[in-house]
């Protein structure tokens, strides 16, 4: 495991192990305090839910490196919501819904996450061919780092007319 300071080094048990040496080997790790600032995309009556994007265990970012192979745990894109939010919205797992933000709208399949806080939703952005999540995420950036604020979009979820629960396998590559 890295770091390996020489070619014949067996590897380090963990990164930054030198920081636990006494005296500390090398320079100290750079830490700094940051001020919390709320997301720029504020929640409102029109957009009352907070969407955050997450990574799935078997997929790397947009899927460019990992989507070419089948995985038994790859489930595709689903909008995960809390049990309470699902009840309030009258939706069930597997149902297709419209997910809207100030930037656009897409259709997604609902998933229920029993551990998720009320008002918080999450999805990946690994499979744009199933749901182009980037259409609804914020284009705001952090003024210091320039990093996109794609983890904090205000959204609303709407049922689609005549929608029933989908009894199909939504896994990417399922049946292939």
The answer to which of 90-99, 123-132, 159-168 has the lowest mean pLDDT is: 159-168
Query: Model confidence over 140-166: pLDDT tens digits?
Result: 887 777 877 767 899 999 999 766 544
Q: How far is Cα 126 from Cα 55, in angstroms, rounded to an integer?
A: 8
Instruction: Render pLDDT for 106-121 as a digit per residue (tens, 0 to 9).
Output: 999 999 999 999 999 9
Instruction: Round to the nearest angstrom and report the end-to-end CA distance of the chain.
Output: 36
**DSSP 8-state symbol, 145:** T
The residues near 15 (Cβ < 8 Å, ≥ 6 apart) are: 1, 2, 3
pLDDT above 90 coverage of the chain, percent = 38
Mean of per-residue pLDDT scores for the chain: 80
What b/e sequence results for 106-132 when a residue is b if at least 16 CB atoms lie within 10 Å of its CB, and e otherwise? Answer: bebbbbbbeebeeeebbbbbbbeebbe
Which residue matches tokens 């939010």?
A: 85
Low-confidence winner among 57-61, 74-78, 142-146 (lowest mean pLDDT)? 57-61
- The mean pLDDT value for 80-101 works out to 96
What does the block give as tokens for 168?
Answer: 């199909």
Domain covering 39-161: architecture: Beta Barrel (2.40)
Give the Cα separation of 64 and 55 in Å (integer): 13
DSSP alpha helix (H) spans, the chain? 83-89
Q: Phi-psi bin for 63: left (phi > 0), alpha (psi -120 to 50), beta?
A: left
The span from the CA of 159 to the CA of 163, in Å, is: 7
- pLDDT at residue 73 in the model: 63
Closest CA to 127 of 79, 81, 176, 175: 79
């Amino acid at each position: 495991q890295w770091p390996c300071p020489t070619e014949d080094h067996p590897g380090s048990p963990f990164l930054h192990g030198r920081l636990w040496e006494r005296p500390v080997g090398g320079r100290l790790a750079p830490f700094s305090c940051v001020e919390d600032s709320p997301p720029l995309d504020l929640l409102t009556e029109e957009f009352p839910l907070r969407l955050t994007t997450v990574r799935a265990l078997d997929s790397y970012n947009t899927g460019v490196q990992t989507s070419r192979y089948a995985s038994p745990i790859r489930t595709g894109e689903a909008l995960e919501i809390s049990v309470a939010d699902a009840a309030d919205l009258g939706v069930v797992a597997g149902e297709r819904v419209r997910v809207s933000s100030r930037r656009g709208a897409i259709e997604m399949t609902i998933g229920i996450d029993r551990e998720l806080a009320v008002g918080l939703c999450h999805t990946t952005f690994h499979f744009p061919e199933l749901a182009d999540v980037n259409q609804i995420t914020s284009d705001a950036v952090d003024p210091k780092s320039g990093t996109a604020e794609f983890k904090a979009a205000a959204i609303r979820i709407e049922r689609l007319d005549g929608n029933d629960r989908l009894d199909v396998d939504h896994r990417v590559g399922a049946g292939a």
